[in-house]
Amino acid sequence: MPASTPSVVLTDCSFAWPDGSTVLDHVSAAFGRGRTGLVGANGAGKSTLVRLVTGELTPTGGRVVTSGDVDVLPQRLDTGPDDTVADLLGIRTTLEALRAVLGGDVDPGHFDRIGDDWDVESRAEAAIDALGLGLGPDGLDRRVGTLSGGEAVLVAVAGIRLRGRPIALLDEPTNNLDRRARAALLDMVDSWRGTLLLVSHDRELLEHVDETVELRDGSLTVFGGTFAAFEERLAVEQAAAERDVRAAEHTVRVERRQRIEAETKIARRARAGAKAALSMPKILANEQRKKAQETAGRLRGTHASSEADARDAVTTAEERLRTDDRITVDLPDPRLPATRRIATLTIAGRTTVVQGPERIAIVGDNGVGKTTLLERLVGTDHAREHPGAEAVAHTTRIAYLAQRRDGLEDELSVLENVRRAAPDVPPALLRNRLARFLVRGDAVDRPAVSLSGGERFRVALASLLLADPPPELLVLDEPTNDLDIDSADELVDALRAYRGALVVVSHDEAFLDRLDLTARLTLVR
């Protein structure tokens, strides 16, 4: 379990975007040494919290204090075309200085950059070899662009381990990882020293944490134990809340019935009193009428108060129930004939023709070129040749969701990005469509750079689905990356109902198992 001395402390911390969207609302919490899993729905603000802890963002209220240097694996690796594995590991400057000294250059600046890290090259090579990536003798100089997404993530995590800062934040570290790479990552997590905060929707990874923290509606709640223990406790709490709602609703019905019965009695007494008053002296009749009205008023007040209290109890109980919104994904029908040839995939000399609304999965280890094959299929400008495979599309009506979700322009707003894909669609209709993806109100005017991974996926998918005419071929590269469980479920339902062709790459076996695939094609080195 995490030690009692906190490494990250949030004190009355608040953060809101310029459009008024609240991420944290006067939160006080502490993360200690050990492994903490941070969970929450897409858009809850988990990645924003990471940026607050690293200091990239400043709280709008309160403060964030860390006990040491912080290292981070962002949700999207920001690498350039000339970046190498050494850059991902964070050692390129030190490595270049070391090699310069070993080559006879005695510039004092080199020694300053090396410091005590004279063994940095051997330690880096050992870290890479331990991951089983097989990058070769010049692996540290290999371009990052030649790595798969999963290989790049694994190298970046190894770099954080290598640098050894006391606090590390990993944002969706299992994205793009195959089974072997996932096993290597889990081994690193299990042996991690210091404070490790894992932002993830990955159930398997979240079983390797000491405590689970949920970010929901601007508040943080700490649960001891793994994600499974958190879900079990949450299920018990929700079952109790449902019982309390039913009990409170029953009380409301009882109080309403008693109020109606009381009103009936009051009416009967009023009629009887009016009849008796006919035979009374007027002054006595007025006194009796006054007393009857006072009694009726008190009775009405008592029952009205009891019924109001019962309704308040229903409201209080309902506030404990979770009724989260879910995205609505309805893929347009391209009216694709079952005999229409859509694509041809050739892998290891074997050709597969994708015909009509067939669903094809391309699977294989990290680094075998699955993304490269998809880029060949959709005809991207930077698509490289694949040495053992080829893909050709027989339609131009293609919707492609890239692994990096880089189809969005970061500086443009959500609405502006979607309008690029559908320039003839009225903005009001675009806003309505985005609302079905849980992007509402002023959120559509936020710049794309501020979106979480899950939000970025929803906006990218909404852009694809607004194409006119609708796509005949949907090409998805790791579509469940960054998605919370409910959103992934909705995506599965939509893909199962889609009447166009589908080619998908994913390491998420549970996701693929639910798609009713026509075929799985395995790509090997």
Q: State residue 381's pLDDT score.
A: 67
**CA nearest 234: which of 485, 432, 58?**
485
Rounded to whole angstroms, the Cα distance separating 422 from 416 reads: 10
The model's pLDDT over 443-468, given as tens digits with 9 standing for 90+, comes to 788 888 877 766 787 888 888 777 77
Enumerate residue ranges in the chain where pLDDT < 70: 1-4, 134, 136, 270, 273-274, 277-278, 285-286, 288, 292-296, 300, 303, 318, 323-327, 381, 405-406, 453-454
Q: What is the pLDDT of residues 204-262, one digit of tens each?
A: 899 999 999 999 888 898 888 998 898 888 888 878 888 888 888 888 788 788 777 77
- The pTM assigned to this predicted structure is 0.72
Q: Chain-wide mean pLDDT for the chain?
A: 85
Distances in Å between the alpha carbon of 149 and those of 153, 176, 181, 519? Answer: 6, 6, 11, 24
Residues 6+ apart with CB under 8 A from 133: 139, 151, 154, 155, 367
> DSSP string covering 180-230, please?
HHHHHHHHHHHT--SEEEEE---HHHHTT-SEEEEEETTEEEEEES-HHHH
Cα–Cα distance, 342 to 365 (Å, whole number): 26
Summarize pLDDT for 117-144 with one digit per residue, the tens. 899 888 888 888 887 776 767 788 988 8
pLDDT tens column, 408-420: 888 888 888 888 8
Q: Cα–chain-centroid distance for residue 244?
A: 31
